[in-house]
Amino acid sequence: MRSDEVKQGLERSPHRSLLRAAGVREEDLNKPYIAVCNSYTDVVPGHVHLRHVADLVKQAIRDAGAVPFEFNTIAVCDGIAMGHSGMKLSLPSRDLIADTVETMVQAHKFDGMICIPNCDKVVPGMLMAAMRCNIPTIFASGGPMAAGKPVNGKATDLISVFEGIGAVKAGNMNEEELEKISCSACPGAGSCSGMFTANSMNCLTEAIGMALPGNGTILAVDPIRERFWRDAAIRLIEMVREDLKPRDFITRESIDNAFIVDMAMGGSTNTVLHTLAIADAAGIEYDLNRINELSGLTPNICKVSPSSAYHMEDVQHAGGISAIIKEISRVPNLLHGDAMTVTGKTLLENVENAEIRDAACIRPLKKAYSKQGGLAVLFGNLAEEGSVVKTAGVAPAMLKHEGPAVIFESQEDACDGILAGKVKAGDVVVIRYEGPKGGPGMQEMLSPTSYIMGRGLGESVALITDGRFSGGTRGACIGHISPEAAEGGVIGLVRDGDIISFDIPAGRLELKVSDEELAERRKTWTPPPRDIAFSWLKRYARQATSASRGGVLRIP
């Protein structure tokens, strides 16, 4: 066993002494040592119940004949961090999590690991670490939150609250009505109830082969979830004995599968950023053009909040991600159904008994929302290395658009400007210097996009940025523009009133300015100074790559 490096032999006598001090018994010295990588924290609603989850998991590991050792990672609640300088630390937390998990696993020579994530950056951070360490690993997330109680007959969620701010500012809602929504939107533990980034990533963990079926959709408060957590722990001990490791499952084909399922279910644009980073950690080169190839072949058969009134509990009742996988497998030569998974079975073997139980929530292929997937990558002179849009959340009238640029040099300026009425129908809002380097930290743009929706401009105004969006964003919002402004990208050369056009079906994003004029502008371009408040962000800004490469860190 790998753990013998810290517990067997004469030279490991001191190590055994320390292990005994930690509660290890003599009979435990010949058992597998299992890392229980937990992300419990009191401040994140998706994680407040994970202390209990870890206790269940550890007991199941003991019952299966192994020794559990729990440690914790950090976790940022993007909703609480939203709209102030804390959001700049959200994406960087992914890389901190990957580093800390790798540190614990390699320093203590664990034989296997069960990861208990839930919210946005924790899932990809742990996956990146799993790829680096490559010991038997299984994921068992905390599960999604139930939808909020209905207000005016409509189920609520966190996005209802964010969009309500814009509605109040526009005079379409009063503050008392907004507070009523605020009190109902988040009823308890779990990752926020729509197909936002956390739930998108937890669903993709099933598709990529690293979690048991149900990981992404069984509610955190559902009693079935407790059986799921125990089953995952027991299966991990079997994987340790079978020597099945993450790189046995994470391949170019399984990454294809993840993106195919993402497009079929209309997941968050952040999944592109994170899956590219996971591929990088696994040593797999994966090109943004491949995402467009897959999108052109993948029907969008499911829409969940913010793209519809459905929530994760509805997807679970409709058959879960397994039903989506099975239905999308009917498209000839698309899904890699023979990809192996942590169950010990192939992806298609896992879903052979799945069925769609609600054809309105998960549509059959013949009634798909569209013949193309819910994500698209756009290229052009404004995004030479690519940009990403969640097509599942774009109104048909905005799939093609052309309009004048209204420029903001930060998210904060954009929020103030939108709420002050500076953005009119037909405009293209440009938020720049918010990429991995420029922000730094590539903060999410949920507030400005929600304010646009709340002011009734969702079907007449577009927004482009070198930053990124929350999975809760909807509308014609194009993010991850690469190269970013801080790296000299063309988005940094745009001026107020310049005409910007995009054609999402054609995959194009263009600035209607000549090459000659752009060359002249570049001669006098300098990035605005940024007062970086946090020392960690200063290091992050020096090492972060563009979104087209997953925003991973590289030593310059």
Spatial contact of 288 and 269, defined as CB atoms under 8 Å apart:
no
The pLDDT-based confidence of 529 (bands split at 50, 70, 90) is: confident
Question: Mean pLDDT over residues 430-448, rounded?
Answer: 93
Name the superfamily (CATH) of residues 380-549: IlvD/EDD C-terminal domain-like (3.50.30.80)
User: Whose CA is closest to 3, among 112, 129, 139, 102?
Assistant: 112
* Phi and psi torsions of 250, nearest 5°: -85, 105
472 DSSP 8-state letter = T
Residue 530: the pLDDT is: 82
Give kind and range of the element (H or E) at residue 97: helix 90-108
Q: How far is CA 131 from the centre of its chain?
A: 17
| pLDDT (0 to 100) of residue 511 | 98
131-165 pLDDT, tens per residue? 999 999 999 999 999 999 888 888 999 999 998 99
Q: How confident is the model at residue 474 (pLDDT cuts 50, 70, 90)?
A: confident
Q: What is the pLDDT of residue 318?
A: 98
User: How much is the average pLDDT of 76-99?
Assistant: 94
Indicate whether this model's pTM tops 0.85: yes
The pLDDT-based confidence of 330 (bands split at 50, 70, 90) is very high
- 3 state SS of 252: helix
User: How many other CB atoms sit within 10 Å of the CB of residue 293?
Assistant: 13
Amino acid symbol at 320:
G
Give the total residue count for the chain. Answer: 556
What letter would DSSP give residue 405? E
pLDDT at 129: 98
- Check whether 556 has a pLDDT greater than 80: no
Q: Is 305 a catalytic residue?
A: no
Answer whether 498's CB lies under 8 Å from 511's CB. yes
**pLDDT grade for 518, boundaries at 50, 70 and 90:** very high
Note the pLDDT tens digit of each residue in 14-60: 999 999 999 999 999 999 999 999 999 999 999 999 999 999 999 99
* pLDDT higher than threshold 80 for residue 2: yes
- Please, which pLDDT band fits residue 476 given cuts at 50, 70 and 90? very high
Listing DSSP states for 21-84 in one string gives HTT--GGGTTSPEEEEEE---SS-TTTTTHHHHHHHHHHHHHHTT-EEEEEE-----HHHHTTS
- AA identity, residue 534: F
Q: What is the band of 555 on the pLDDT scale with cuts at 50, 70, 90?
A: confident
Burial tier of 211 (Cβ tally within 10 Å: 0-12, 13-18, 19+)? buried
- List, for residues 276-298, the tens digit of each pLDDT value: 999 999 999 998 999 999 999 99
Provide the mean pLDDT of the chain: 95
**Residue 445: what pLDDT?**
85
Catalytic residue among 308, 470, 482, 548: 470
Give the pLDDT band (50/70/90) at residue 528: confident
The pLDDT assigned to 533 comes to 82
Mean pLDDT within 410-422: 93
pLDDT at 531: 84
Q: What is the pLDDT of residue 364?
A: 98
| 482 pLDDT higher than 80 | yes
Lowest mean pLDDT among 81-85, 351-355, 475-479: 81-85
Domain boundary assignment for the chain: 31-145+188-350, 380-549
Q: Which of 410, 448, 412 is nearest to 431 (CA)?
A: 410
CA 271 to chain centre: 5
Residue 471 has pLDDT above 90, yes or no: no
Q: What is the DSSP code (8-state) at residue 527?
A: P
CB-based contact 428:537 (threshold 8 Å): no
pLDDT of residue 514: 97
**Contact (CB, 8 A) for 385 and 482:** yes
CATH topology classification for 31-145+188-350: Rossmann fold (3.40.50)
More confident residue, 66 or 120: 66
pLDDT tens digits, one per residue of 174-226: 999 999 999 999 999 999 999 999 999 999 999 999 999 999 999 999 999 99
